[in-house]
Amino acid sequence: MLSAATVRLVGAVLLAAVPAGCAAAQHPAAPARSTSTAPARPPATVTRIAPLPVRTVENSQPTSPEKCPAIDPAAPTPPGNPLVTCDVARTTRYTLGPETLRLELIHVAAPTPLTADFYEVNLTLDPASATAWAAFTTAHLHGHFAFLRDDLVLEAPLIEDPVTSGRIALTTQTLQAAEQLARLAGRPA
Give the CATH number of the domain where residue 127 resides. 3.30.1360.200
Cβ atoms of 183 and 175 closer than 8 Å: no
Residue 104 belongs to a domain: yes
Structural domain of residue 132, as residue ranges?
52-67+79-186
Query: How many domains does one find in the chain?
Result: 1
In a domain, 126, yes or no: yes
What's the mean pLDDT in 76-94?
Answer: 96
Residue 116 burial by CB count (10 A; 0-12/13-18/19+): exposed, middle or buried? exposed
Q: Residue 47: its pLDDT value, please? A: 78
Q: Share the mean pLDDT of the chain.
A: 81
Residue 1 resides in a domain: no
In which element (H, E) is residue 139 found?
A: helix 127-139
User: How many CB atoms lie under 10 A from the CB of residue 85?
Assistant: 22
For residue 47, being part of any structural domain is answered with no
Each residue of 33-77: pLDDT tens digit? 434 454 555 555 567 999 999 999 999 999 999 999 999 988 999
Tell me if 178 is assigned to some domain: yes
Asked whether the beta carbons of 162 and 136 are under 8 A apart, the reply is no
**pLDDT of 114 higher than 60:** yes
What average pLDDT does range 123-131 have in this prediction?
96
Alpha carbon distance, N-terminus to C-terminus of the chain? 25
| CA distance readout (Å), 63 to 60, 68, 116, 139, 158 | 9, 7, 26, 31, 20
Q: Is residue 31 part of a domain?
A: no
Instruction: Give a yes or no: residue 159 inside a domain.
Output: yes
Q: How confident is the model at residue 117 (pLDDT cuts 50, 70, 90)?
A: confident
Q: How far apart are the C-alpha atoms of 52 and 154, rounded to whole Å?
A: 10
What pTM did the predictor assign? Answer: 0.74
In a domain, 121, yes or no: yes
pLDDT recorded at residue 16: 28
- pLDDT higher than threshold 70 for residue 99: yes
Residue with the larger pLDDT of the pair 69 and 11: 69
For residue 17, pLDDT over 80 is answered with no
